[in-house]
Structure 1
């Protein structure tokens, strides 16, 4: 082991979100002294600015790159069996559907990859060729709305009670005596360096508080590219969702429904204990480019800077998103097409060009670790992603993970990433912003 766990001090910036909270948890579980762990965030856990502070997220095993399999299987086992997480996994199944020629072709490749993985996934994943087979898994869909659809049904999929899961980590961290800084005392301003100018020895927050440590982990999610210059490796993007509330009778009908996803439509979840269904459309995301100078940049540059819904609570989403959300409801849940929608909002994530994480030591700053680039797919790894960040801290991260998550500027376009098209900018999308305060992020 390259570090002494009992004596090493670690600061986790963005510790109220997915990767940050998981990292703090695994520092504890690895034997680091609680009083030597400091979690910084603008908001308490679960941070109001975190994409993970959400009603629910999809759980499923999809193999986008070579390291996905081991990570997904590890996460699945912890969601099922770890006492801290198992109550937040709703194993309702996952129904991935496609209706276009290109979509069906891609879906067949996904299914073949699951069969070829050699991990027993052929036992839990089923190809559905006909509308009858799809309706057998989700009989509340309308046959006339799924003409020509094909699907994969995953028995080991479902949804995760996202905010509740992160909150459970926060409770554990507090119980064990981890240090916290919130508000201005938890808002990152810059790294602190030793006399050599390159060895990171802590961070300074916006109110001037200085925290010293042996290792600093920047895990600020979509805010990471605005805080530190990541050389255009990550692009912060927003996706949208809305909620609707069902009556108790309607809840009874839709309870235990699988998560239904179609790449041309969007997705929805079964109702939660309060009868709330979350509906999302599917699209390449929205950017918000500004002239901004993150720490480490020589001058201001174009950076997609998230706009915090917690600081701008009247924000909703663009007018175009209302149409696409309503379209998803008409296809999936036509009986509810006149239901009132609420909690219309933007959810911010950070895409990389290849949709793999960016988890590595900064090449110019020793002991400063970047842990970002979730590309909209990392919440399912909440139970175990922090374990691998700790391995990086200790110099024991597996070679395949280190290679996949390396510092890699210039490998592609994160504004498009592996999505169907480049993201549109919110400046061109009317209807979402309902105040004029541009001073805040």
Structure 2
């Protein structure tokens, strides 16, 4: 069945008020769409949204090859547009900190992988770091005090740094509201229980309070929760990562300002303390955690189902402290002030999934951030609008298409070219109750 004609008077329903949902609502409003409604079970910023974070990495990599593969070209197009947005869009510009980015490894295989996939060694913008002293000199004295055993890396200062993801998301949400977007959030009013089908198409969504929200077009942008609302034919795997914070003093927070992001592709990364709570964020690096349980929505098949938790496995805390012992041993034993698991949705090839469904033509899916969604915030909504309007550029349309053929006999445990930890996807079901952190104030 053909969808209703798309006009500025069409009713548009966005499911999900996270990074992509807020960005899409803003771009729709800027294009003149008059009837945009957004549903989410939590107020903005949602406590389970991947973008509800004090900082995320922003890195734009130019293409190394003159004949790049389709996915690399699409990634470069998106990150270039995102960087422009972070630098020029007044809604987002205050939240981009172009402090630089260090990518590094500590084994020959990892270092070779960086040379092949991460950087252009002929680009003068990349400064090679060969010794511990060279790493230490990238930041003010007294910050990087570690020995960096066997580490080698590259520093880039152009188009790279970090974003305050939470503030940027709230900024997009606030501006979208000013432009007329209607947000219905919180349970039960904003919690979508099911899509509503009629005449072989989707005509809206029903929330927990029993209300059916009808719309001419539905944009499903609920991140890792999307798989619970729609059959993606195994194209989405909810995958979680782990982050933790260390409390710094106001004086330390001032000392640690404007630092480049330090990222080891196997051990983890850190970014400067946030300006409000003075907490320094550290993430351990690994292929991800899933929560494999029998899923009644998929005939009892073992699938990864997200859940919220403001604690992390003790093994993740140990990996974060191992990263600190290499880089900032003076912080390695400090207590954690905050921790949580952070969910995203992986596609089989880690490319975004932004397309109208081939059968339910009124549905546009906008999912599959695959660990790279937050930094796209200024521009991703524009690409989603393009897909809705049927004008998405060909280089993106092919890569972001509905593609269940890539998920046939999908290996749910595939590491998808991620490193660190035990070099395998881990399962929260194997983490016992006493194997989680016990940070005061965190949720169970």
Give me the TM-score of the superposition, normalised by structure 2.
Answer: 0.88
Is the CA contact 2:99–2:160 (under 8 Å) kept in the aligned structure 1? yes
Equivalent residue for 2:178? 175
1:74 matched to 2:78: no
1:65 matched to 2:72: yes
Is the CA contact 1:131–1:150 (under 8 Å) kept in the aligned structure 2? no
Q: 1:387: Cα distance to partner?
A: 0.5
Is the CA contact 1:7–1:32 (under 8 Å) kept in the aligned structure 2? yes
Q: 1:10 to 1:415 in 2, by over 3 A?
A: farther
Further displaced range: 69-78 or 146-155: 146-155
Looking at structure 2, the residues matched to 150 and 351 of structure 1 have their Cα atoms a distance apart, in angstroms, of 27
SS in 2 for 1:382: helix
Equivalent residue for 2:384? 389
Give deviations 1:99-144, integer Å, cap 9, x for gaps: 11111111111355586xxxxxx46433434444433323532362
Give deviations 1:341-391, integer Å, cap 9, x for gaps: 121211111111211111112222111111111111111100000101111
Give deviations 1:233-270, integer Å, cap 9, x for gaps: 11111111111111233223221111100012100011
Looking at structure 1, the residues matched to 30 and 349 of structure 2 have their Cα atoms a distance apart, in angstroms, of 31
Q: 1:339: Cα distance to partner?
A: 1.6
Is the CA contact 2:126–2:154 (under 8 Å) kept in the aligned structure 1? no
1:240 matched to 2:242: yes
Looking at structure 2, the residues matched to 222 and 433 of structure 1 have their Cα atoms a distance apart, in angstroms, of 23
Give deviations 1:17-63, integer Å, cap 9, x for gaps: 01111111110111111xx1010000122222211011110111246
Looking at structure 2, the residues matched to 135 and 409 of structure 1 have their Cα atoms a distance apart, in angstroms, of 47
Q: 1:251 to 1:292 in 2, by over 3 A?
A: same
Equivalent residue for 2:366? 371
1:98 matched to 2:102: no
Is the CA contact 1:128–1:153 (under 8 Å) kept in the aligned structure 2? no
Task: Write out aligned runs for 1:26-425 (5 A).
Answer: 26-33=27-34, 36-62=35-61, 65-111=72-118, 122=123, 124-138=125-139, 140-142=143-145, 144-182=147-185, 183-195=187-199, 197=200, 199-273=201-275, 274-294=277-297, 299-309=299-309, 315-411=310-406, 412-413=410-411, 415-416=413-414, 417-420=416-419, 421-425=423-427
Looking at structure 2, the residues matched to 220 and 19 of structure 1 have their Cα atoms a distance apart, in angstroms, of 8
Looking at structure 2, the residues matched to 111 and 282 of structure 1 have their Cα atoms a distance apart, in angstroms, of 16
SS in 1 for 2:147: helix
Q: 1:327: Cα distance to partner?
A: 1.1
Q: 1:159: Cα distance to partner?
A: 0.8
Give deviations 1:170-195, integer Å, cap 9, x for gaps: 11122222222222222222222333
Name the count of aligned residue pairs. 415
How large is the Cα RMSD of the aligned pairs? 2.2
Equivalent residue for 1:118? none
Give me the TM-score of the superposition, normalised by structure 1.
Answer: 0.88
Looking at structure 2, the residues matched to 111 and 343 of structure 1 have their Cα atoms a distance apart, in angstroms, of 30
